[in-house]
Amino acid sequence: MAEVAPRGPDSGTRERLDALRARPRRPGEASFFWYEAEFRREAVKVLPGEYAAHAEDVLIMTVLGSCIACCLHDPGARVGGMNHFMLPGDRGAGGRYGAFAMGALIDALVRLGARPEALQAKVFGGARLLGGTDGAGVGERNTRFVLDYLGRARIPVVSQDVLDVVARKLAFLPVNGR
């Protein structure tokens, strides 16, 4: 069986990437766009402390350890997004903290037409990568924070892959929530 080589970006893809890169960004909004050959589509990388929200067929990606990524999606509006935060709570202003990261993502989705009451969540991360027996490590605290936050906001968690001792590579499609 012959192996199919991934196709590279065509001129339309390059133009779309240029347009995505040229858009104005809010503080904390992810801005690293590229062509992801494995998925054959444009992608944006969400770094710690950042978020991305789209109503377009753009792949949103990140890599997690003890950090949390919350993916929110409004199926009716066909918009979604992802954040990536490092610490629970709201001890600081900025996307590294859970409360700020969640608020920034929800606000961005509402600006794109999402209805807060229609949002669904998928939660990932919170791993214990360094071991130890210190009780509730940062991964556990991050996980507890995001699940409590979503519960208070009445946003149902439809999927989660949290805790354990493994890092995760995450790819999210905002228009369909997969």
Which DSSP helix (H) or strand (E) runs through 122? strand 120-125
Q: Which of 43, 44, 67, 108 is catalytic?
A: 67
Contact 59, 28 (CB under 8 A): no
What is the residue-wise DSSP string for 135-164? SS-HHHHHHHHHHHHHHHTT--EEEEEE-S
The verdict on whether 71 is a catalytic residue reads: no
Go through 144-163 and write b for each residue having 16 or more CB atoms within 10 A of its CB, e for each that does not: ebbbebbeebebeeeebebb
Q: Which of 71, 20, 24 is nearest to 41 (CA)?
A: 20
- Greatest alpha-carbon pair distance for the chain in Å reads 56
3-class secondary structure, 55: coil
What angle in degrees, to the nearest 10, is found between the helix axes of 138-152 and 98-111?
40
Active site residues: 67
